[in-house]
Amino acid sequence: MKVLIVDDEQSLIKSLKYSFEQDNYEVDSTADSDEAIEKITLNDYDIVILDLVLPNGDGLEVCQRIREVSNVPLIILTANDEDMNKILGLEYGADDYVTKPFNILELKARIKAILRRTRGMQKNNEQVLVVDDFVINALGRKVSLRNQEINLTAKEFDLLLLLITNPGKVFSREELLEIIWGYEYFGDLRTVDVHIRRLREKIEDKNKTYEYILTKWGVGYYFRSKN
């Protein structure tokens, strides 16, 4: 397990580093946004923890830059009064968020849930799945649509894989939170809506009505197969 912490609060880094190392995590850290991008480009991290307030860069911008170079699972750290930033963080590609101050056990639970979900899908699904216009490499966690590779975050991939392997089945937002996020979620249901919207932006034709991921009004979301 290799973790990158992007934060300038040395006391927090020290505390997280000590706690993670007790679980045999390898911990790397930086407070510099440019260095964070360089580290992510050069290293294979299992998860990144990113504070939205950095000394030389906007955390939301860093989040967006990370998504340009990597699909590594990403958790953002926010302050109590940054509710809009939580939503924006998800819009920019974060998989989850934790509000400061937080309990380290909660953070660990969220990390384990993300990694369990990611690795579970790799282990329990066929390596290559072909559905309609999609080709999904479950082990490599890659998706192509009409022979064009689609760059998805960890949670977007998990959502698509869940929906596409259960065509026609309607999942409520509560069910998606429980299945995809894998723990007792302390956020709100907008998290699911944000990820569904981002996923649709990447796979749906903007000039047409939704073709793949549809909404069952008052119930939830489902994947409509052509077959």
pLDDT given at position 124: 46
Do both 7 and 80 map to the same domain?
yes
CA diameter of the chain: 55
Those residues whose C-beta lies under 8 Å from the C-beta of residue 110, and which sit 6 or more positions away, are 75, 96, 98, 181, 183
Question: Can you give the CATH number for the domain in which 77 is found?
Answer: 3.40.50.2300
What backbone torsions phi and psi does residue 186 show, to the nearest 5 degrees? Answer: -100, 0
CB 121 within 8 A of CB 142: no
Residue after which a domain boundary falls, among 116, 143, 170 = 116
CB 44 within 8 A of CB 28: no
Do both 73 and 175 map to the same domain?
no
- In the block, which residue shows the tokens 């064009």? 148
Relative to beta strand 96-99, strand 128-131 is unpaired
**Short-list 138, 129, 128, 134, CA closest to 212:** 134
The pLDDT of 101-116, averaged and rounded, is 84
Write out pLDDT tens, residues 31-83.
Answer: 998 999 999 999 989 999 999 888 887 888 899 889 888 888 899 998 765 56
Do both 66 and 95 map to the same domain?
yes
Residue after which a domain boundary falls, among 116, 146, 166 = 116
Tokens of 198: 């981002």
- In the block, which residue shows the tokens 């924006």? 88
Domain of residue 96: give its range: 2-116
Tokens of 227: 């077959």
10 or 181: which leads in pLDDT:
10
Write out pLDDT tens, residues 136-174.
Answer: 987 778 899 988 999 888 889 989 999 998 889 999 988
Do both 157 and 192 map to the same domain?
yes
Measured CA to CA, the distance from residue 95 to residue 62 in angstroms comes to 14
The CB density around residue 5, as the number of other CB atoms within 10 Å, is 22
Do both 145 and 112 map to the same domain?
no
Measured CA to CA, the distance from residue 118 to residue 142 in angstroms comes to 12
The count of structural domains within the chain is 2
Residue after which a domain boundary falls, among 94, 116, 138 = 116
Do both 106 and 155 map to the same domain?
no
